[in-house]
Structure 1
Amino acid sequence: MIPFKLKLLDKEREINLFYNFIMGNTDHFRDYMEVVPSFDEVKEEFLLDVPPGIDIKNKEVYGVYREENLIGFLDILFNYPESHTCMIGYLVIDQNYRKQGIGQQVYNHAVAYAKEKDMWKIRLSVIKENEPAVRMWKKQGFETIDEEVTEYGTQLMMEIRL
């Protein structure tokens, strides 16, 4: 097991580190298959974007660090889309560190933290064609509750009760 630490990402001081992580892991972001996002687009979409009417304070982005290197991140939005429900926007591990149990440990942290914050459910959306991700979330106990065709492909809305 590779040791790592999970801490809130400093959105101002670590934006360059975060941007470099995103650019090094474009395989995970099908949104950008045709256009490489700018620095400002990465900052806006991954660090500052929340649905209309939702306070930015409900969004927490954690960095996954090995020593001082950013090797992943977790984006989680609390009390969305309803009270006592949180939404995992992203759980991404650097392609060089995948299949080593880090993603599982980060997810376990997210579940424990969600319970501490009195969340009853976790939701997430995954591209249906991303079969490894769909399998992983099903293995965790997530069930598909909705399906929507978007410009990025068919999105599965998945949910688990805590």
Structure 2
Amino acid sequence: MKLDFKAVKAEADQIVLRDLAYEIWNEFFPPIIGQSQVDYMLEKFSSLEAIKNQSQEGYQYYFIVLDGQNAGYLTFKISDEELFLSKLYLHANYRGKGIAKKAMRFLLDCATEQDVDNIRLTVNRDNVNSIAAYEKMGFEKVDEQITDIGQGYVMDDYIMRLFIR
């Protein structure tokens, strides 16, 4: 089992990432937030235009590649204070294999290289499996937030943080 993290830079890779996001989100999130919110959020946050804009804002996108296959992707942004994990999603065929834990090791290495002392993320309060996985990796719930994302939709999240030092 060979796991790699491949930076997404070229538009061709951004298109592949968009398609992977649509596949993962449409499989995983409808029971949690409903199909109409999935459709809206994909267009707002994972369209080709959104990926390009976020990349220009300093977000770094990576494919999670297992044995040559795109198993998922992650996105983060590093500031002076922290690494903000914006996205960490695995295709259904690759969940439960310890890949997320290895992805977190990759993120910890990135955070350490940039000399930040924590990783922060937001996770939907009803996404109990992901919350449990993050807690198992050492993340703590530090706050809650409800964010209006337009069109009558909100993101109802926990803010979780992993302190590195």
TM-score by length of structure 1 reads 0.81
- What stretches of structure 1 of length at least 5 have no aligned partner? none
Match of residue 75 from structure 1: 75
The 5-angstrom pairing of residues 120-159 of structure 1 reads: 120-150=117-147, 151-159=153-161
| Structure 1 residue matching 2:11: 3-state secondary structure | coil
Query: Does residue 3 of structure 1 match 2:2?
Result: yes
Which whole-Å CA distance do the structure 2 matches of 1:142 and 1:148 have between them? 17
2:17 aligned residue: 18
Percent of matched pairs sharing the same residue: 19
8 Å contact kept, 2:18–2:46: no
- State the alpha-carbon separation in 2 of the partners of residues 40 and 98 from structure 1: 22
Q: What secondary structure sits across from 1:13 in the alignment?
A: helix
CA RMSD of aligned residues (A): 2.5
Q: Find 1:49's aligned residue among 20, 45, 54.
A: 54
- For these two proteins, the number of residue pairs brought into alignment is 153
8 A contact 1:9–1:62 mirrored in 2: yes
Which residue identity is paired with 1:59? Y
2: CA distance between counterparts of 1:22 and 1:29?
11
Alignment pair present for 1:118 and 2:120: no
Q: 1:49 to 1:33 in 2, by over 3 A?
A: farther
How far apart, in 1, do the equivalents of 2:45 and 2:159 lie? 28
Q: Deviations over 1:55-93 (max 9, x none)?
A: 72x3211111234432111101000xxx22110001111
> Does 87-96 or 147-156 show the bigger shift?
147-156
Contact conserved, 2:44 with 2:50, CA < 8 A, in 1? no
